[in-house]
Amino acid sequence: MICFPNCKINIGLYVTNRRSDGYHDLETIFYPVGLKDVLEIVPAKAESTLTLTGKSIQCNEQNNLVWKAWQLMKQEFPGLLPEIEIYLHKLIPMGAGLGGGSADGAFMLQLINDFGKLNLTKEQLSNYALLLGSDCPFFIYNTAQFARGRGEKMEDIALDLADYSIQLICPDVHVSTAQAFQMLQPKEAGFNLKEIAALRVEDWKDAISNDFEVPVFQAHPQLKEIKEELYKQGALYASMSGSGSALYGIFPKGRKAVIEKINSHYLL
């Protein structure tokens, strides 16, 4: 069985509170986009294995969310799941604010559900996904969601960007999420993202922001330059996704920017 885990972007991101458990409360919109990994499982002749190809992954096998998802489901359903060979081909870069690892873990849960004929509902799969990571449940539903808390409290939101082109730019820049959080001073959200449908996309620039852009752009000014270039070339809205380093521009359908000054990027 094979599937294609897609990534997401954050439309608006406000860090509203530093919690006593070390996490932060946030408000954001998760929106699915079309850059995808490839994930396949087949019956194994011996013990289960995980084979990784494509872009490098900076973690060992035991910490990969695909493997964690498999171990979790084996524990939850002992004796019901045969050993499998897992093949993950990475196209979504790590540490870019696109949720690629979370997507892989969530899609793995769905593959196991289908492969093992477990008949789990999306709500049940979402509960398992939360054990893997705060934003993993989003990829179970994989539709536009207003998210709060750590990102795990979600509400459907009426947002459809099918009439626009979304362009991703993924520079070869590493952004430390932990350091970015430390540089933030939590405050009340600057805009109620649940009201986004009342705005035109071209009005987002003056209403919606990502709190991480200020500290991250200070540390990596080339990211700010890319955002400015997206606007120069006709983006209706441009932003960093998550804590970066990926940026995106939303353009009229069929339009995109030509970016020539960065070492590595993906364009959709």
Same-domain check for residues 57 and 190: no
- The C-alpha atoms of residue 17 and residue 23 are separated, in whole angstroms, by 9
Same-domain check for residues 126 and 248: no
126 DSSP assignment:
H
CATH number, domain of 224, equals: 3.30.70.890
Q: Residue 95 pLDDT > 90, yes or no?
A: no
Q: Is the peptide bond before 245 cis (omega within 30 degrees of 0)?
A: yes
Q: Which of 8, 68, 90, 227 is catalytic?
A: 8
Alpha-carbon Rg of the chain, whole angstroms?
19
Share of the chain above pLDDT 70, in %: 97
- The C-alpha atoms of residue 119 and residue 62 are separated, in whole angstroms, by 26
Return the structure tokens found at 263: 């070492």
* 35-59 residue pLDDT tens: 999 999 999 999 999 999 998 887 7
Judge whether 266 lies within some domain.
Answer: no
Residue 248 belongs to domain spanning: 164-252
- The C-alpha atoms of residue 158 and residue 12 are separated, in whole angstroms, by 15
- The C-alpha atoms of residue 36 and residue 142 are separated, in whole angstroms, by 13
CA dihedral 206→139→259→255, nearest 10 degrees, is -70
Same-domain check for residues 180 and 145: no
What's the pLDDT score for residue 260? 67
Q: What is the tally of structural domains in the chain?
A: 2
Active site residue 172: no
Active site residue 163: no
Return the structure tokens found at 9: 């972007």
Domain boundary among 156, 181, 212: 156
Q: Which of 37, 68, 90, 135 is catalytic?
A: 135
Domain boundary among 156, 190, 213: 156
- Which has the higher per-residue pLDDT, 184 or 110? 110
Same-domain check for residues 147 and 247: no
* 110-134 residue pLDDT tens: 999 999 999 999 999 999 999 999 8
